[in-house]
Amino acid sequence: MDEIGRARAVKSTGAALAIVCAALAVSIAACSPPSPRASPSYPLVDTAIYDDRARELIRARGIELLPHGSLPSWWTSLTELSGNVAMIPASGAAGDLHVAVSLAGRNARAAATELLGAEPLSIELVRSACRRNDAGLIEAMILVRALGPARAQVQALPIPASEQPKAAASDAGATASGSSEGVATGTADGVERPAWWFDGPTIGEATIEVCAMGDGPTLREARHAALVKGDATLSSAAGRSMSVGETKRVATARLGDGSYRAFVLMSAPK
């Protein structure tokens, strides 16, 4: 074979090898798994309990995600009422975030109705968060602002005689906390006090203000007990009997045994 023939043979062999290598590369690429896609950048905690539907709700509503067992910085154990505006913390737990949020909203509406004495005219979501609780469920925690009818006041509601709290003889001389012993500012038997709480009557130029608290098996009875003690403290400070003082602010908390504690801020003319 001459030089030209050998060159052609070598060239033909190289071309064939190139075709084979290209075919092998295509075959290997076809068998290789696809490159992994980047995961969605959700700032999730305990991601295993949140599905795509829950993630969308979290993103749409700006729900704060919390580690297991932690509380949001804005959470409080107290419901607050000032005039016809109530601030209600509420929670709900379920296996699905949508259901948990719905339960929290239902609990907030029920608490607002009880505190305002009527169905709220509107409820505004202020803050929200979610976490996994000890039972492994998703717990939604919300803070809402509820608007009640104008001039809504929380006064003593009628309670059957058999349920009337018995006022001790020392009630008239009790401190503003409703106890002759008093309780340290900040907590009352481990229960958070409202920020507006103060000990002892505050006597101004034209009015007297007092804070009082009361416990009861129901929210209504706890509130009634606090109002009774508030009236007694007002009477003691004024030096005369005062049947009903004006209720300016109310806060309530659920105790560990399932009963309730109510805090009230009341005033009356001197």
pLDDT in tens, 77-125: 888 888 888 899 999 999 899 999 999 999 999 888 888 888 899 999 9
- Model confidence at 24, pLDDT cuts 50, 70, 90, reads low
CA-nearest of 214, 209, 116 to 164 is: 214
Q: Are 210 and 233 in contact (CB under 8 A)?
A: yes
Across 91-105, 141-155, 229-243, which has the greatest mean pLDDT? 91-105
> Contact 228/205 with Cβ under 8 angstroms?
no
SS3 readout for 216-238: ECCHHHHHHHHHHHHHHHHHHHH
- In the predicted model, what is the mean pLDDT of residues 127-137? 90
pLDDT of 14: 57
pLDDT at 144 over 90: yes
| 7 pLDDT more than 60 | no
Q: Which of 137, 124, 139 is nearest to 91 (CA)?
A: 139
Helix (H, G, I), strand (E, B) or coil at 171: helix
Across 172-185, average pLDDT: 34
Structure confidence at residue 269 as a pLDDT band (50, 70, 90): confident
Q: CA 206: distance to chain centroid?
A: 38
Task: Report pTM.
Answer: 0.59
Burial class, 221, CB count within 10 angstroms (exposed 0-12 / middle 13-18 / buried 19+): buried
Which tens digits make up the pLDDT trace of 181-203? Answer: 333 345 556 788 898 999 888 88
Strand partners, 264: 212, 250
pLDDT at residue number 166: 38
β-strand partners of 202: 209
Angle at which helix 52-61 crosses helix 97-116, to 10 degrees, equals: 40
Whether the per-residue pLDDT at 231 is higher than 80: the answer is yes
Burial of 60 (0-12, 13-18, 19+ CB in 10 A): exposed
Predicted local distance difference test score (pLDDT) of residue 12? 61
**To the nearest whole number, what is the mean pLDDT of the chain?**
75
pLDDT > 80? residue 139: yes
Res. 54: pLDDT tops 70: yes
Lowest mean pLDDT segment, chosen from 129-133, 176-180, 216-220: 176-180
User: Whose CA is closest to 213, among 177, 181, 248, 187?
Assistant: 177
Tell me, what amino acid is at 212? A
Percentage, residues of the chain above pLDDT 90: 26
pLDDT the model gives residue 152: 44
